[in-house]
């Protein structure tokens, strides 16, 4: 939970964690409070499923807030307009130079709040989240509840499906897992060791 807000400057907040850790809920909570403070708020999410241009960000607990689907980071910069607060959900799926865009928005005085997965289903850092966390004034890392044993969980376990890094899904496709219960795919340790997953995998 974040109880501080910037005064008179822009800044960047990152909310990260595994699936089901409450990132979208926390993003919605902060954005609602900004609205209560009469701030001008705009929310973006990646256009992975682009049936409508305008759509909600929705948490697993069915909280929702209207948002704008974008295809790239550049579109966020173009459409942020005069908003004082810019929220971005599922940041790990937004293509382009998101780091450069949010840096410019924050430098121009906007409060930028980003939510996204810090690691993929193999437990490998999910770009550009690591760089965004370094750029941020405030980073919040949330834990889920391990679906298997109930312990605090920081990993996203893929239950079914292939080996594509991006595979949109929810309950049924993924589970939150703790360190003990997480079962990484066979080859991920080897690939991480070779550093191959960090460039263009
Ligand atoms: P995220 O955006 O991080 O995937 P959400 O904010 O969408 O998470 O959803 C969080 C909500 O999901 C929780 O408040 C709870 O109602 C529900 N939930 C379902 N499974 C779990 C779990 N294993 N751990 C924690 N919350 C869970
Ligand atoms: Mg979410
Ligand atoms: Zn567990």
Beta carbon of 24 within 6 Å of any ligand 1 atom: yes
Check if the beta carbon of residue 153 is closer than 8 Å to that of residue 145. Answer: yes
**Ligand 1 pocket mutation pick from 18, 29, 144 by most atoms within 8 angstroms of CB:** 144
Model's pTM, two decimal places?
0.89
Domains of the chain by residue range:
11-143
Give the nearest ligand 1 atom to 26 CA: 6
Structural domain 11-143, CATH architecture: 3-Layer(aba) Sandwich (3.40)
Q: Are 96 and 72 in contact (CB under 8 A)?
A: yes
Active-site residues, by number, are 90
pLDDT tens, residue by residue, 117-176: 999 999 999 999 999 999 999 999 999 999 999 999 999 999 987 778 787 777 788 999
Q: Are strands 111-117 and 85-88 parallel, antiparallel or unpaired?
A: parallel
User: What value, to the nearest 5°, has the Cα angle with vertex 164 and ends 125 and 133?
Assistant: 20
Q: Which helix (H) or strand (E) holds 181?
A: none
Neighbouring CB atoms inside 10 A of 64's CB total 13
pLDDT tens per residue, range 176-187: 999 999 999 876
pLDDT value of residue 187: 60
Find out whether the beta carbon of 57 lies less than 6 Å from any atom of ligand 1.
no
- Cβ 33 under 6 angstroms from ligand 1: no
Pocket-testing residue among 15, 19, 20, ligand 1, by greatest number of atoms within 8 A of Cβ: 20
pLDDT digits (tens, 9 = 90+) for 76-105: 999 999 999 999 999 999 999 999 999 999
pLDDT at 189 over 60: no
CA–CA dist 114, 136 (Å, integer): 9
**Of the candidates 183, 90, 168, the residue with the CA atom closest to the CA atom of residue 129:** 90
Query: Can you tell me the distance from the alpha carbon of 176 to that of 8, in angstroms, rounded to the nearest whole number?
Result: 38
* pLDDT surpasses 90 at 20: yes
- What mean pLDDT is predicted for residues 49-70? 80
What pLDDT band is residue 191 in, cutting at 50, 70 and 90? Answer: very low
* pLDDT for 32 beyond 90: yes
């Amino acid at each position: 939970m974040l109880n501080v807000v910037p005064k008179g400057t822009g800044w960047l907040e990152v909310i990260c964690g595994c699936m089901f850790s409450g990132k979208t809920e926390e993003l919605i909570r902060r954005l609602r409070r900004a609205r209560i403070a009469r701030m001008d708020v705009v929310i973006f999410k990646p256009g992975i499923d682009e049936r409508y241009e305008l759509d909600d960000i929705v948490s697993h607990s069915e909280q929702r807030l209207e948002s704008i689907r974008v295809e790239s980071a550049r579109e966020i910069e173009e459409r942020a307009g005069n908003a004082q607060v810019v929220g971005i959900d599922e940041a790990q799926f937004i293509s382009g130079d998101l780091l450069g865009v949010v840096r410019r928005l924050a430098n121009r005085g906007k409060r930028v709040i980003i939510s996204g997965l810090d690691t993929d289903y193999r437990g490998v850092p999910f770009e550009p989240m690591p760089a965004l966390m370094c750029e941020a004034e405030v980073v919040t890392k949330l834990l889920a509840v391990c679906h298997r044993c109930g312990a605090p969980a920081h990993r996203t376990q893929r239950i079914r499906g292939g080996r594509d890094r991006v595979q949109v899904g929810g309950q049924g496709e993924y589970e939150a897992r703790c360190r003990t219960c997480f079962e990484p795919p066979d080859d991920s340790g080897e690939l991480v060791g070779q550093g191959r997953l960090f460039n263009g995998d």
